[in-house]
Structure 1
Amino acid sequence: MKKIIFSFVTSVLLLLPNMVKADEGMWFLMFIKRLNERNMQKMGLQLTAEEIYSINNNSLKNAIVQFNGGCTASIVSPDGLVFTNHHCGYGAIAGLSTPEHNYLKDGYWAKTRAEELSPKSLYVRFFVRMDNVTDRMLSVVNPQMTEKEREAALNREMEKIQKENSEGGKYVVSVRPFFQGNEYYYFVYQDFKDVRFVGTPPENVGKFGGDTDNWEWPRHTGDFSVFRVYTDPNGNPAEYSPNNIPLKAKKFLNVSLKGVQEKDFAMILGYPGRTNRWVPSYWVDQQVKYAYPAWVEASKTAMDAMKRHMDKDKGVRLKYASRYASTANYWKNRQGMINALTAHKTADQKRDAEKKFAKWASKDANKAEFGNVLSDMENYFAKTNQESANHNYLSIFFRASRITPLVVGFTKQLEQYLSSSSDQEKEQIKNRLEKNLYAYYDESYYPAEVDLFADNLKLYAEKSSSIPSELSQVKQQYNGDFKRYANDVFSRSIFTSKINFDQFMKQPSAEVLHNDPLAKIATALLTKYYQKTPEEEKLADTYAKAFRKYVKGMRDSKISTTLYPDANSTLRLTYGTVKALPADKRNADVKENYYTTFKTMLDKYKPGDPEFDMPARFVDLYNKKEFGRYLDKDGTMHVNFLTNNDITGGNSGSPVMNGNGELIGLAFDGNIEAMAGDVIFDKKLQRTIVVDIRYMLWVIDVYSGAKHIVDELNIIQ
């Protein structure tokens, strides 16, 4: 382990003057002292690396949490108050809402701790420490192994490492591969599962601009929500209990009201989900021409099906709000990726690097290990291009018709129920099934579920080049009328309504179960989704080895100067500056382009519009100039601003901090011009869109009258 760390750091230090870029990179915290500290301090950081990441002492990392497994949040008060994005809390808030008390639409602020609401399922994850286990992990594998054998050996070693560091279950331990399996690190976390909803602005603030403005600049979105972490009376993680107390935070972020100027230092800590910076040109071509277009088309089909019903009924709109928003976000993202990767000629840039790699790999010293790498990767993508589209049509079908993939598991549980001789086991299975299915019924609207099933299954059946025989029979039997087929399936299946399920449980029958129409088609589709022929498995095995060697070769040869690994939902640091978009990307309505104001937000205001409406009180407060202490020194209320930090999905909700480590805003989006950022960093155009902390506090304090929330914060004037 020491040898790897030494060689890695030594090579990096030699390359530092030219290769460490202020804006590009999602950096490991344990390496920032060696790799980034001096550069960050030259740019304006006033902290030491130890104050950002320390194992033994409180540091900034103790104030950063992963929010419910998919976003980032920060602790901002001694009593465990949490700031994250509105869209990160969206599902939890929707789950707590009813047509009578619609917290999504109308907003909510708990006046007391007793009014803080507990969602059905919500947790935050604190990062404790990490370490390098590359030597140990790679010692259990060898080049002769198949990928399945390699994976099995690595998993066995992962289990040992996880057990050694979990302290009897106190911690969650995760061993993760980096640089495509050329390095391994373990991460120790602690989960807190009693997280309560404190407040959020109304939807026309938290989602101002809707899908139209999503991924666009200029923005005027108050994308934030507030929660609180609770513990047992001794400060330990615990499930919800009325006896629990607010978390006594080891570290929380101070909040700055000083505002930002262009070129100010900006730092983000968060959990970026996934990037693909090391992929070859063949991967890019496949996404642009096959995989992403299928994703876009299938997502739009699902959105249209949901929207038909959401527009007719407020209750249905509430049920599907979170699912629709998630689908719409990825729909626009994937289309933006197609456009950006094409416009930037990303595949061509990758091909230029591959030409250099080919020349290096052809040398006698490298040929044995790297000589076939490019041809093996090219062959894999050539043979899987169409299948990538097929896969995405089916994948989005499963996302749209959520009940379909679940039914396979429910069927197995019912088979176990029917074969069990234990009344206790039967009762446990029944209770578990009822809990899951009843939750689905509560969260769904039957006519919408029928349309989602019908429309996306039809698309898959018509666009895929390879569908299971069972679906071919359906297509022929119903003469392509998938709506009629869906109505038939949903009316007869024991899983699609509470009446059907309860009726089955009164007289459970193996024959009825095995003939269930939804179970039969779901099994066929899921089998198809995961099925691989021996040829496909061999192809995938060859590609996995080739890609791992490609990344290793790109690093060994120094053809790639990228020093950080791809994002994979582990805590990273990114730093840069507050920075406007280039002049040719400026919008005439934005004076300086690195920030937007309350005035430019009012210019977009359309009363009654589902995307650009705003509370009438906003207009009144603006006319009365009631902005309290939250105005910028230029006399305006800043709403959103831009930095050039390197982020991706999972960074939503991440705290944006100044050089003192003080909170100045929350990252919530990127810009459409740099949508290819997950694959290639665009130094000129890549931006992070941030909601200004002063606008957030104005909404909480002045507009909402929840001054008690602001009083919890340690505010730096």
Structure 2
Amino acid sequence: MKKTLLLLALVAAPALAGEGKWTPQQVLELDPAWLKAQGLQLPPKRLWDPKRGTGLLAGAVNVGGCSGAFISSTGLVITNHHCVFSIVQEHSSPQRDLISQGFLATNREAELPGKGSRIQVPRSFTDVTQQVLATVPEGADDLVRFKAIERKQKELVAECEKRPATRCQVSTFDGGLQYVLVDAVELADVRLVYAPPRAVGEFGGEVDNWMWPRHTGDFAIVRAYTAPDGTSAPYSAQNVPHKAEFFFPLATQGVKPNQFVMVLGYPGITFRAMLAEEMAERQARFYPRVIDVYGEYIRILEEEGAKDPAGKIAVASTLKSLHNRYKNAGGQLEGLKRGAIIEKQREAEEAVARWAEKKGKHPEGLRARSELLGRLKDTGKTWEREFLLNNLRAGAKGPTMAVTLARLARERAKPDLEREPEFMERELARLKDQLEREQKNLFLPAEKHLLKAFVRRAQALGPEERIAAVDKHFGPTFSEKDVAAKIDALYAGSKVLTLADRLAMFGETEAQLVARKDPLLAFGLELATEVTALDALKDRREGAAQRLRPEWRRAVLAHAGKPVAPDANSTLRVTFAKVQGYSPRDGVFYTPQTTLSGVVAKHTGQEPFNVPDKVLATAEAQRFGPWKDPVLKDVPVDFLADADTTGGNSGSPTVNGKGELVGVNFDRVWENVSNDFGFNPDVARNVNVDVRYVLWMLDQVEDADALLRELGIRKGPPVAQESR
């Protein structure tokens, strides 16, 4: 395709405002004059060179589900504190609690390797739509369609990954209107350089999460390493810092209100192309159940973790993730209602349908919409069962790992291209790292309590939704005493939670797993059968969506006659924005910047508003250094912009028109959580750490001399010091 379908009717206009998560290729289609008027001082081709398939945007990297940015030619990457929390936790203990104390490596030898941590640097994007769709046989049913498309995606990825240290994926746009092969270099040696104390990186905790005003220093710095010859390599003492071709210098002057900024990164998933009734299902069932189930799991982990210092560290990472999804669900519900998003989507759909009928166009699209609505009703019959099985990973680690080991053994018996994607050879190193990494997250009292909660919910399901593995091992009805006793026996007789045994199981066949007569493995093998059957059902549904949704999207795009931003799908995107505040409700206006004085004012001495002593002392002494804003007369901490962001944008670099880093994105405001379903410019605000707060912490609080010299902030060559 010479022109991508995503660029249908794409012309830049001031009406675009902050809406739109644009691909690197799309940036080149935007009107350069409009971009310049907004504040871009670089030629668009500096951002992305189509001939080379790279550019400044490649300085934004994928950090394992988060985003990040190179900030030096020596492999330094800035991202969010919560994005590298697992590395901090990995190296923490009650005797050396880096979670609470923070960590600074003042020489490279002291940097802490992250088990399984990886950084992907984008290299090229290739439209493969025709190749993918050509593999679907004429008259194929939905499951055959899905399998054909999946097979071709696997083949394209396998060919792409023949080069060493390469990570590829085939990404789907607009429900299957376009498929793009994304090629990236994967760096496998990632080490922690700096993480502030948790009371800085998470200041305000869940009270302030998704809120404004915000005073959180959610940032951290890691370094990517390569082999001495510059090729990607796993951790080795002989490795050297990665030489980054593109990086973002730190803008020591920061930002000011109304300034143009860009947020670059890897937004995970949005739902703006959903039908209104699909959105209504999320509102009526999905988010309420997330609040219900995750809320219970959070209470369990907090209760059990409070009983044991080591247990508190073990559950910290899981608890952090659950809290975020729990509060997000509440924000989604509130936002969907407040913004009447579903009603607006329904009106927009009807407008497309009326237009298509009047013009006599896109009859296939109208039929596709009708069938999609019909299929949605069918999925409700076993909804509760599917939710529990789909969210196994949110609960007890033991059964989750047992299911993973069982499925891996079964999938390994198949040819690689016939396996489920997550169990192909290319994924096994990641999978092994994950199973090893989980050892730090295990806390037996919490494990048992979480499994009991899952069993209780499973036993409450209706007759058509039973989970056979649960009924077999725990009975059909819940008894607190009986279930607790059976869980005790399950764990007492299992080796799944023992790291050495679990890693041995990783390479075993199904017969070998069965021969172990491990009760938790037996439960996992039977549970895996049901999870696999559910996956097959979801594959058939996805095949139907691949057949139907592109037809409807063609009608939507044709009717729009203006840019229609593609939903996020974890690929590199850019959103253009301005630094500005907003009015969340009648009579209230929020300014776009917060300051160090606000941090001190919130300090109570109790979590989550307990400012670390060294930070508080420096702030109260007004040792601002060169980081004081001349207008605010204080050190800026966080700022707002109207960028179009979502999950996955955590850690995204926020850069100015010169391509300098002015902040690090880490959140959205509460009123903007439902931005995933529809963009509202009045409340669409993302939250960023101001680079001057980062530099104030490194300079005035930590005196991180070697790091500041490496970043060019202090003069002279880096001076090696001891880590602390």
Counterpart-to-counterpart distance in 2, 1:264 and 1:367: 43
Asked whether the 8 Å contact 2:13–2:34 carries over to 1, the reply is no
Partner of 1:631: 628
Secondary structure at 2:222's aligned position in 1? Answer: strand
Secondary structure at 2:112's aligned position in 1? Answer: coil
Partner of 1:697: 695
Give, in angstroms, the shift of residue 517 of structure 1. 3.5
Partner of 1:556: 558
Secondary structure at 2:637's aligned position in 1? Answer: strand
Q: 1:141 is matched by which residue type in structure 2? A: V
Counterpart-to-counterpart distance in 2, 1:134 and 1:436: 33
Specify whether residues 105 and 587 from structure 1 end up closer, same or farther in structure 2 by C-alpha distance, changes over 3 A only: farther
Q: For 1:221-370, what aligned pairs fall within 5 Å after superposition?
A: 221-362=216-357, 365-366=360-361, 368-370=363-365
Partner of 1:466: 465
Partner of 1:479: 479
Partner of 2:202: 207
Give, in angstroms, the shift of residue 622 of structure 1. 2.2
Residues 273-298 of structure 1 show CA distances to partners (whole Å, capped at 9, x for unaligned) of: 11111000111111111111112211
Give, in angstroms, the shift of residue 698 of structure 1. 0.7
Partner of 1:91: 86
Partner of 2:593: 595
**Does residue 87 of structure 2 align to residue 101 of structure 1?**
no
Specify whether residues 535 and 236 from structure 1 end up closer, same or farther in structure 2 by C-alpha distance, changes over 3 A only: closer
Secondary structure at 1:93's aligned position in 2? Answer: helix
Q: 1:545 is matched by which residue type in structure 2? A: R
Q: 1:680 is matched by which residue type in structure 2? A: G
Q: Which runs of 5+ in 1 are unaligned?
A: 418-430
Counterpart-to-counterpart distance in 1, 2:570 and 2:581: 28
Asked whether the 8 Å contact 2:153–2:170 carries over to 1, the reply is yes
**Does residue 610 of structure 2 align to residue 613 of structure 1?**
yes
Give, in angstroms, the shift of residue 157 of structure 1. 3.5
Asked whether the 8 Å contact 2:458–2:470 carries over to 1, the reply is no
**Does residue 523 of structure 2 align to residue 521 of structure 1?**
yes
Q: Name whichever of 139-148 and 510-519 sits farther off.
A: 510-519
Residues 295-327 of structure 1 show CA distances to partners (whole Å, capped at 9, x for unaligned) of: 221111111111112112221111111111001
Counterpart-to-counterpart distance in 1, 2:552 and 2:430: 46
Q: 2:202 is matched by which residue type in structure 1? A: K
Asked whether the 8 Å contact 1:586–1:593 carries over to 2, the reply is no
Aligned-residue CA RMSD in angstroms?
3.3
Partner of 1:457: 455
Specify whether residues 511 and 439 from structure 1 end up closer, same or farther in structure 2 by C-alpha distance, changes over 3 A only: closer
Give, in angstroms, the shift of residue 116 of structure 1. 1.0
Residues 3-53 of structure 1 show CA distances to partners (whole Å, capped at 9, x for unaligned) of: x44x8657323xx437x5120000011121222533221111101111111
Partner of 2:61: 65
Counterpart-to-counterpart distance in 2, 1:12 and 1:266: 22
Asked whether the 8 Å contact 1:305–1:448 carries over to 2, the reply is yes
Give, in angstroms, the shift of residue 441 of structure 1. 4.6
Partner of 2:619: 622
Partner of 1:424: none
Give, in angstroms, the shift of residue 56 of structure 1. 3.2
Residues 408-455 of structure 1 show CA distances to partners (whole Å, capped at 9, x for unaligned) of: 3435788999xxxxxxxxxxxxx9999987764554121111111112
Asked whether the 8 Å contact 1:172–1:188 carries over to 2, the reply is yes
Q: Normalized against structure 2, the TM-score is what?
A: 0.88
Counterpart-to-counterpart distance in 1, 2:565 and 2:595: 36
Secondary structure at 1:549's aligned position in 2? Answer: helix
Give, in angstroms, the shift of residue 495 of structure 1. 2.7
Specify whether residues 490 and 535 from structure 1 end up closer, same or farther in structure 2 by C-alpha distance, changes over 3 A only: closer
Residues 37-93 of structure 1 show CA distances to partners (whole Å, capped at 9, x for unaligned) of: 3322111110111111125397312322111x2011111112111111000010111
Counterpart-to-counterpart distance in 1, 2:190 and 2:686: 27
Q: 2:169 is matched by which residue type in structure 1? A: S
Give, in angstroms, the shift of residue 393 of structure 1. 2.9
Counterpart-to-counterpart distance in 2, 1:261 and 1:533: 49
Give, in angstroms, the shift of residue 696 of structure 1. 0.7
Asked whether the 8 Å contact 2:60–2:264 carries over to 1, the reply is yes
Counterpart-to-counterpart distance in 2, 1:353 and 1:435: 46
Asked whether the 8 Å contact 1:197–1:228 carries over to 2, the reply is yes
Q: Name whichever of 683-692 and 252-261 sits farther off.
A: 252-261
Q: 1:59 is matched by which residue type in structure 2? A: G
Specify whether residues 433 and 25 from structure 1 end up closer, same or farther in structure 2 by C-alpha distance, changes over 3 A only: closer
Counterpart-to-counterpart distance in 1, 2:548 and 2:54: 42
Partner of 1:183: 178
Give, in angstroms, the shift of residue 499 of structure 1. 11
Specify whether residues 219 and 47 from structure 1 end up closer, same or farther in structure 2 by C-alpha distance, changes over 3 A only: same
Give, in angstroms, the shift of residue 655 of structure 1. 0.6
Counterpart-to-counterpart distance in 2, 1:521 and 1:78: 50
Asked whether the 8 Å contact 2:62–2:68 carries over to 1, the reply is yes
Q: For 1:400-415, what aligned pairs fall within 5 Å after superposition?
A: 400-411=395-406
Secondary structure at 1:669's aligned position in 2? Answer: strand
Specify whether residues 365 and 597 from structure 1 end up closer, same or farther in structure 2 by C-alpha distance, changes over 3 A only: same
Q: Name whichever of 520-529 and 636-645 sits farther off.
A: 520-529
Specify whether residues 153 and 440 from structure 1 end up closer, same or farther in structure 2 by C-alpha distance, changes over 3 A only: closer
Counterpart-to-counterpart distance in 2, 1:496 and 1:703: 41
Q: For 1:613-692, what aligned pairs fall within 5 Å after superposition?
A: 613-634=610-631, 635-692=633-690
Partner of 2:27: 32
Asked whether the 8 Å contact 2:295–2:326 carries over to 1, the reply is yes
Counterpart-to-counterpart distance in 2, 1:658 and 1:716: 22
Specify whether residues 503 and 204 from structure 1 end up closer, same or farther in structure 2 by C-alpha distance, changes over 3 A only: closer
Q: 1:657 is matched by which residue type in structure 2? A: V
Counterpart-to-counterpart distance in 1, 2:242 and 2:621: 39
Specify whether residues 94 and 662 from structure 1 end up closer, same or farther in structure 2 by C-alpha distance, changes over 3 A only: same
Residues 110-161 of structure 1 show CA distances to partners (whole Å, capped at 9, x for unaligned) of: 1211111112221111011212222333333366222332233334443454
Q: 1:621 is matched by which residue type in structure 2? A: T
Q: Normalized against structure 1, the TM-score is what?
A: 0.89
Asked whether the 8 Å contact 1:58–1:250 carries over to 2, the reply is no
Asked whether the 8 Å contact 1:80–1:247 carries over to 2, the reply is yes
Give, in angstroms, the shift of residue 575 of structure 1. 0.6
Residues 630-656 of structure 1 show CA distances to partners (whole Å, capped at 9, x for unaligned) of: 110121111111000001111111110
Counterpart-to-counterpart distance in 1, 2:501 and 2:712: 55
Q: Which runs of 5+ in 2 are unaligned?
A: 413-428, 716-724
